[in-house]
Structures are given as structure tokens and as C-alpha cells.
Amino acid sequence: MELGVIDYGGGNLRSLLRALQFLGVEPRTVSQPEHFEGLTHLTFPGQGSFGDSMRNMEERDLVEPLQDWLRADHPFFGICIGYQLLFESSEESPGVSGLGILEGEVRRFPSGRDLKIPHMGWNTALPTDSTHPIWKDFAKDPYFYFVHSFFPQPKEEQIIGSRTNYGVDFASAVQRGNLFATQFHPEKSQHTGLRLLQNFLEIPVDIPA
């Protein structure tokens, strides 16, 4: 296995690298198109705005190779902004197009519901299909750590991998083929998050041509 971590010049790169190293993996950072060569698994950590993150990706010429990776259904784990960018657009950055791999829009939590925004802290993520390999060895209602003011709203109900409630019910994860992405931060979610990352790393795959 050769694991890559997208480095787009922002986000929560170090925390994810430390978590992966704890699991016994030495990942490679991916900051140029040629860094995709030889990888079997790819992760995309993140913190930051939708628009700035897309601009950083474009400046590093990472958009097209990442889209190619995702369309080929190679193993991918997106986290936070690495989840939101999979969609077409976001209310956070009007006029900015996302990667467009998944249909839907990233929405802001509605005001006036006596909710603190951002949604910050521990919350449950209820799997929609607990038999999926990514949820192997999990309790019925695992807790993960969240920090976000926006959440994706997929058009396709069947890709929703888990649901979370914070004033509104939202898709806290999606899964489609070898693509998996979460709004929560597994690298900050202690043993529960490490278990999720380990399950992702165990996805069998051949090295892409």
C-alpha cells in the first residue's frame, strides 16, 4: 500500500499525518500532479473555506488529477473541507465550483434555532449501512469530533453513509464505491477515528496504472 495525503497549502495536515503514523503507515504528501504516481490510497484532510481551498488546488494543478483519481474509483478518504469540495458548490463561496464528483450543494446551518455555530464538539454519526466494511467493528452509534458551520446536502440519498443531527439532520458521511468522506474529523476522534481510518486502509486495491 502507498498512501498519499493531499497538501493544498492549508488544512489540518499534521494531525492526520500523526494519526496515520500511529497506525504504522508512512504517508506521502501530494502537492504536485506527479505525486499521484504509484499511490494506492488517497486522503484529503482539511480546514478552511470552500473558495480558498479550491483556488489553492487550482494553483497547484491538483484539481484534474484528483478528479481523475475519483472518477477511476481509487480508494479515497475526504475529511471536512476534503468532503465538501466533492460537491458542485457551496453557500460559503457563491460562484465557486467544487470538484463536482457528487451532485449537491454545501449548505450553512440555519440561524434562529438556538444553535451555536460552528457545530463544535462530539456528536454521533449513525451509519446508514452498518454492514459496510468501513464501519467494521463499530458500535451502533459511534461518536466523532466535529468542527464546521457548513454541511453537504447530497442529491443522491443512496450515497449517504451516516447521519448526524444538530438542529437539522445532515449527511455526516458519504460512501460510493471506494470513495468515503466525512464531515467529522477521525484524526481528532481518538480510538473511534483511528478505527475508521484503519478500516479505510484495509480496502484492497491494485496500484493504479
DSSP assignments along 123-145, one per residue: EE-EES-TTSGGGTT--SS-EEE
Out of 41, 74, 119, 185, the active site residue is 185
For 129, residues 6+ apart whose C-beta sits below 8 A from its C-beta are 135, 161, 175
Out of 41, 92, 148, 187, the active site residue is 187
* Residue 187 is among the residues annotated as catalytic for this protein: yes
DSSP assignments along 88-102, one per residue: SEETTSTT-----SS
- Written as one letter, the residue type at 53 is S
Out of 80, 92, 119, 148, the active site residue is 80
Helix (H) or strand (E) holding 65: helix 63-71
27-to-21, 38, 42, 72 alpha-carbon distances in Å? 8, 12, 9, 21
* Residue 80 is among the residues annotated as catalytic for this protein: yes
Residues annotated as catalytic (active site), given as ranges? 80, 185, 187
